[in-house]
């Protein structure tokens, strides 16, 4: 497996609950390196691009409201097999189905406010990194 960079975002609920540092430690704990970080409140334009794939889903309007509701921590993490390793660390979308010890199993308590986002594949990762880090990454 080659080195990859993935897009990870602490969602507004995670930031508001003070989980950012704990989440960063967990990514460091699996050996990934933080190569970009931006703290921002997403505007409608970036939120709609990021979640464009879910436009037809019933939960889309609530998802956009939620993700634009307050600050997020947008991050780029790099390392061996970073995309799948991060998804594993994060756990299933629905916290009730997430493996014990994953971030969502430990901290999420609803399917929509589930603390964290992680890219689900190489194409998604490169799209999302370009969207959230238009000026590029460190290193
Ligand atoms: P993922 O975040 O695990 O990749 P996706 O299926 O890509 O999950 O969904 C994106 C986000 O949309 C989820 O993280 C969650 O916040 C929200 N979401 C997904 N499915 C539902 C649902 O059935 N009800 C409400 N919100 C949902
Ligand atoms: Mg997804």
In a domain, 54, yes or no: yes
Tell me what the mean pLDDT of segment 98-105 comes to.
Answer: 98
Tell me what the mean pLDDT of segment 103-117 comes to.
Answer: 97
What DSSP designation does 99 have? P
Q: What is the mean pLDDT of the chain?
A: 97
Is position 54 annotated as part of the catalytic site?
Answer: no
What was the pLDDT predicted at 84? 98
In a domain, 137, yes or no: no
Confidence of residue 56 (pLDDT cuts 50, 70, 90): very high
Residue 87 CA: which ligand 1 atom is closest?
Answer: 3
Residue 117 CA: which ligand 1 atom is closest?
Answer: 2
| pLDDT tens digit sequence for 4-25 | 999 999 999 999 999 999 999 9
Beta strands in the chain (DSSP E): 3-10, 33-40, 72-80, 116-118
HEC profile of 20-53: HHHHHHHHHHCCCEEEEEEEECCCHHHHHHHCHH
What was the pLDDT predicted at 139? 66
Q: Is the pLDDT confidence value at 98 over 90? A: yes
Q: How many domains in the chain? A: 1
What was the pLDDT predicted at 77? 98
66 lines ligand 1 (CB under 6 A): no
Which residue range(s) make up the domain with 111?
3-132
The three-state secondary structure class of 97 is helix
Tell me what the mean pLDDT of segment 75-92 comes to.
Answer: 98
What was the pLDDT predicted at 138? 78
Measure 59 CA to ligand 1 centroid, in angstroms: 8
CATH of the domain at 66: 3.30.70.141
């Amino acid at each position: 497996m080659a080195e990859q960079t993935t897009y990870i975002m602490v969602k507004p609920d995670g930031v508001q609950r003070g989980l950012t540092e704990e989440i960063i430690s967990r990514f460091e704990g699996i050996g990934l390196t933080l190569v970009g970080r931006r703290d921002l409140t997403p505007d409608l334009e970036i939120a709609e691009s990021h979640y464009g794939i879910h436009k037809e889903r019933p939960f889309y309007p609530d998802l956009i409201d939620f993700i634009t509701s307050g600050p997020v921590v947008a991050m780029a993490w790099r390392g061996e097999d970073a995309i799948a390793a991060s998804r594993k660390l994060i756990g299933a979308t629905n916290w009730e189905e997430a493996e014990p010890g994953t971030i969502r199993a430990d901290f999420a308590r609803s399917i929509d406010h589930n603390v964290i986002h992680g890219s689900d594949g190489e194409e998604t990762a490169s799209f999302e990194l370009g969207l959230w880090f238009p000026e590029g990454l460190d290193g």
